[in-house]
Amino acid sequence: MTKAIAAKPDLLVSSVWGGDYVAMYKQALQYGLFEKMKFATTLALGVAPHAIGKDHPEGVIAGVHANYHFTFPPGNRWPPNKTFVEKYFARWKEYPNFQAEGAYTATQMLKAAIEKANHFLGGWPDDDAIISQLEGMGYAGPGGYVYIRPDNHQGYKDAMTGFSKNVPEYPFPILDPDRVITIPIRNITAPPGWPKGEPTSTYTWIEQTWPTVKA
């Protein structure tokens, strides 16, 4: 922390998340780091919403884990999220994190695949039959549309980030509803058929196909 401050950067980017991030920002407050430089994170809000305190600075680029925060998409625009958040809060008396949304969405997609395979076969489907229905499936989950790519069986949804903001409605910071940034997942993911690369296929795809920006 002291080395970062001593370097006097214009911008500090943090990639820690979860409990490590909570400990880091609390320490940064003690050193006055946020007054000395701009600050951006990949996963500032990548924890249970209530784990971040009101003392967290506003205006920080605050990424989320698994492209989900319970306030986005907003309920007035995306009923699946409104219903999910309301039911989750009614049962657990807290707001859902990315793990809750991911577990719910994955379970619902698996359920839909089993039911569809059962309809076609007229009985309980085997693994291959279920997989065949998951391949290419699209699902409107709380966090938006999720798509299972047939070539690698991975779930994809658009990426999102934003800026931290304290609002009266919640005892913790949320994503500023006026400054959420979404990025179509196809724009930042290697397409099907791209050769396996090191360290990842997306890395080599970006390196080889994205234009180079020169100062």
pLDDT digits over 47-72, tens only? 899 999 999 999 999 989 999 999 99
Closest C-alpha among 110, 72, 76, 104 to residue 91: 104
Best CA proximity match to 188, nearest among 165, 169, 160: 160
* pLDDT for 215: 67
% of the chain exceeding 70 in pLDDT = 100
| Domain span(s) for CATH 3.40.50.2300 in the chain | 1-67+158-183, 78-157
The residues near 37 (Cβ < 8 Å, ≥ 6 apart) are 5, 8, 9, 10, 11, 12
The CATH number for 78-157, chosen from 3.30.70.890, 3.90.180.10, 3.40.50.2300, 2.40.50.100, is 3.40.50.2300
- Residue 69 β-bridge partners: 72
- Beta partners for 146? 139
Answer whether residue 32 shows pLDDT above 90: yes
Q: What is the mean pLDDT of the chain?
A: 95
The yes or no reply on domain 1-67+158-183 and CATH 1.25.10.10 is no
